[in-house]
Amino acid sequence: MNGDFFLYQMSRIVILLVFVTMIYANEEPYVKHEHLTTTDGLVSNTIECIYQDRQGYIWIGTQDGFSRYDGYSFINYKHDPNDSRTLSDNIVYHIFNTGRYFWLGTAGKLNRFDSFTKEFKTLPVYSVSSIVSDSAGILWVGSLFYGLYGIDEQMHIVYHLTKENSAIGSDNIRDLLVDANGDLWVCTEGGGVTRISFREETLKYVSFRHDAHNCFASDGTGLLGM
């Protein structure tokens, strides 16, 4: 009898927990938010891009500089014409992180920010539209007018693929994605989509007709859509 009574009580507790869970699941979640502006230290109120790193810092590209937010205060970075180690252009459209380094697509050149030394270096890559990296450590940077660039860890441009020297259908790169197989997908405007495979140190191309401006989405296992 005691065993039956124990099971009866446990079943009542389980039912109660399920009921409470269902009640809270149907409630609107509480979301805390803040409205941060230049009054709070943000470098500009015109935001172009936002990135959160593994440490939880928020990095913000704006129309007038680059900011880091730690939840309490901002650190701002801007171009100084008297210091070549600063941001080359204050308009920051894209942020891509590879750990220690942040790659920034600006209104001018491509910038690499060293989060340890707090110094910027630049490469002559302009009009950046998209940035990804592959398993070999190559950074792939798409340009709106100048094709596709591959950059190694020493900041050397090891590939510059254009309509003239490759199977990419247009120099107007709109979107990039590296899939689960390590293949690079390149979406262009007016030139379709090209898949680039890296086999035995050679590039192999497969082209598809598709003219969307922003093509790709992935769940980490492959392409979800174009």
Q: What are the pLDDT tens digits along the chain (226 aa)?
A: 555 555 555 555 555 555 556 655 555 666 667 789 999 999 999 999 999 999 999 999 999 999 999 999 999 999 999 999 999 999 999 999 999 999 999 999 999 999 999 999 999 999 999 999 998 999 999 999 999 999 999 999 999 999 999 999 999 999 999 999 899 999 999 899 999 998 766 778 888 876 555 565 555 555 545 5
Fold of 34-125: Hemopexin (2.110.10)
How far is 171 from 61, CA to CA, in rounded Å?
25
Domain coordinates in residue numbering, the chain: 34-125, 127-226
How far is 23 from 95, CA to CA, in rounded Å?
40
Residue 118 backbone zone (phi > 0: left; psi -120 to 50: alpha; other: beta): left
CA-based end-to-end distance of the chain:
64
